[in-house]
Amino acid sequence: MNQRTLSHAAQIVTATTADFPADMALKRYFVEKQYLIGTERREVSRAVFAYFRWFGWLNSKVSREAQVEQAVELSINFAKDPKSIKEPALAALAVPEWLKSEMTVTPEFIRQLQQEPPLWLRARPGHGSKLMMALGDCIAAPSSPDSIRYKGSRDLFLSQSFKNGDFQIQDLSSQLVSVIASPKPGETWWDACSGEGGKTLHIADLLQNKGVVWATDRSLRRLDVLKTRAKRAKVFNYRSKPWDGGQKIEDPKNPGVMLPGKLPFKTKFDGILLDAPCSGIGTWRRNPHARWSVTVEDIKELAVIQAALLKQVSELVKPGGLLMYAVCTLTHAETTGIFDAFTAANPEFIPELKTVNGLPADPLSKPGSLFLWPQAVDANGMYIATWRRSKA
Ligand SMILES: C[S@@+](CC[C@H](N)C(=O)[O-])C[C@H]1O[C@@H](n2cnc3c(N)ncnc32)[C@H](O)[C@@H]1O
């Protein structure tokens, strides 16, 4: 890696803070430095992510540039020989100390965290093989011929297939959420924390233009990105509106008494997906900076928000309809903790999860729920739970 790339990467690393994560710092830097082109941008990004992935090993007494260089070397050596770093040093330096008290941490989990992440694409339903031919350097996931892993080095944003809206860049585990939700043509769905609409667009595709999916999020900016993406993908069977989760508010007439939060709809849905805000530990391979900014307090606070959002959205599931909870994290509190508490308190919601061929079995997943371990699926870690509302 040349000195120029190291210098760019070191400047971005220095600009990164807990509130200004590495991916945002990279985006802003590239907007400011328009002269950096595709290949060099990719090299700089890889160096920045290598820094945070190998942060625990770096010598803090040398310059930032020298640290980035060290990280890149460690990354290359580890890719050549993943056994070159032995346990327990790997676990001790790759993740914060508190992690093992919050989730099941195995050597395999840690080892995958130290590798560069794969790039997953989602083809339009039934168009996987056509897309693989158009792009080259692709393989399909065992779970679906439309989930494609791209192994080449072209800038896919410049490809004709991207301009045509033939694929979305979407992690495999994220794709599996909508595959497991399995919306049927003619149904009405609500994607309650839609963000930029990764799953909204997938659900809309699976509805085959016969049915509608509503997208809500508290971020107007994210809903705007969803609109741009939907336009390019020529997806029209969706609607969106802002919703902040209907946070409970204090009754102005009775101070201290909390009124229930407001739901954004009066109608009920065939299916509701709550892809809740979470600690994001399942994305730590792709997003290594977050390893050093998430705290145990964040996990506790998020679990409270997740439980409240789940209870709230569940009210709008039709009798016989499906409720789905998904988080790209693996902590006990945000996964089984939420599942067990909701199931115990809401007997009219019966755990029921559709299986998908090609997914590895997992002894930690209880009936009605599923852990997608990153080391098993070669994608983000994800937890999914689904319940069917009884018809009575
Ligand atoms: C995990 S992300 C969603 C990702 C998205 N479903 C996708 O597939 O691209 C969680 C989303 O929840 C939103 N969010 C956080 N707190 C919220 C709240 N109280 N009410 C509504 N949305 C919220 C965030 O803005 C964020 O977009």
pLDDT on residue 14: 96
Distance 372 CA to ligand 1 centre (A): 20
Tell me how far CA of residue 306 lies from CA of 225, 327, 352, in angstroms.
Answer: 24, 9, 20
Residues 154, 16: one domain?
no
Reduce the DSSP state of residue 330 to 3 states and report it: coil
**Is the model's pLDDT at 265 over the cut of 80?**
yes
Tell me what the mean pLDDT of segment 27-39 comes to.
92
Tell me what the mean pLDDT of segment 62-74 comes to.
97
pLDDT on residue 63: 96
Decide which of 26, 51, 81 is a domain's last residue.
Answer: 81
If one residue of 217, 225, 243, 273 were mutated to test the ligand 1 pocket, choosing by the most ligand atoms within 8 A of its CB, it would be 217
Cα separation, 301 vs 30, in Å, equals 34
If one residue of 214, 218, 225 were mutated to test the ligand 1 pocket, choosing by the most ligand atoms within 8 A of its CB, it would be 218
Decide which of 106, 139, 169 is a domain's last residue.
Answer: 169
Q: 115-124, 156-165, 239-248, 327-336: lowest mean pLDDT where?
A: 239-248
Residues 19, 158: one domain?
no
Residues 305, 377: one domain?
yes
164 falls within a domain: yes
376 falls within a domain: yes
**Is the model's pLDDT at 209 over the cut of 70?**
yes
pLDDT on residue 248: 64
**Is the model's pLDDT at 260 over the cut of 70?**
no
**Is the model's pLDDT at 262 over the cut of 80?**
yes
- The range of the structural domain enclosing residue 128 comes to 119-169
Q: 140-149, 211-220, 352-361: lowest mean pLDDT where?
A: 352-361
Residues 206, 277: one domain?
yes
Residues 352, 374: one domain?
yes
- Residue 245 Cβ inside 6 Å of ligand 1? The answer reads yes
Residues 146, 200: one domain?
no
Buried b (16+ CB within 10 A) or exposed e, 23-54: eebbeebbeeeeebeeebbebbbbbbbbbbbb
383 falls within a domain: yes
**Is the model's pLDDT at 254 over the cut of 80?**
no
Distance 275 CA to ligand 1 centre (A): 7
- Residue 171 Cβ inside 6 Å of ligand 1? The answer reads no
Buried b (16+ CB within 10 A) or exposed e, 333-371: bbbbebbeebbeeeeebeeebeeeeebeeeeebeebbbb
- Residue 167 Cβ inside 6 Å of ligand 1? The answer reads no
Per-residue pLDDT band at 258 (split at 50, 70, 90): low
- Residue 280 Cβ inside 6 Å of ligand 1? The answer reads no
Residues 142, 267: one domain?
no
pLDDT on residue 259: 63
Domain count, the chain: 3
> Which class for 136: exposed (0-12), middle (13-18), buried (19 or more C-beta within 10 A)?
exposed
- Which CATH number do you get for residue 185? 3.40.50.150
Per-residue pLDDT band at 236 (split at 50, 70, 90): very high
Residues 213, 143: one domain?
no
pLDDT on residue 357: 85
Residues 276, 133: one domain?
no
270 falls within a domain: yes
Per-residue pLDDT band at 7 (split at 50, 70, 90): very high
Distance 305 CA to ligand 1 centre (A): 11
Residues 192, 288: one domain?
yes
**Is the model's pLDDT at 208 over the cut of 70?**
yes
212 falls within a domain: yes
pLDDT on residue 250: 66
Residues 195, 265: one domain?
yes
Residue, of 252 and 56, whose pLDDT is higher:
56
pLDDT on residue 378: 96
**Is the model's pLDDT at 255 over the cut of 80?**
no
Distance 281 CA to ligand 1 centre (A): 15
104 falls within a domain: no
204 falls within a domain: yes
**Is the model's pLDDT at 359 over the cut of 90?**
no
219 falls within a domain: yes
Per-residue pLDDT band at 245 (split at 50, 70, 90): confident
Per-residue pLDDT band at 50 (split at 50, 70, 90): very high
Tell me what the mean pLDDT of segment 275-283 comes to.
98
Per-residue pLDDT band at 66 (split at 50, 70, 90): very high
Decide which of 138, 169, 200 is a domain's last residue.
Answer: 169
Smallest CA-to-CA distance from 303 within 327, 333, 276, 282 is with 333
**Is 278 known to be catalytic?**
no
Residues 248, 370: one domain?
yes
- The ligand 1 atom nearest the CA atom of 243: 21
- Residue 193 Cβ inside 6 Å of ligand 1? The answer reads yes
Tell me what the mean pLDDT of segment 210-225 comes to.
95
Per-residue pLDDT band at 249 (split at 50, 70, 90): low
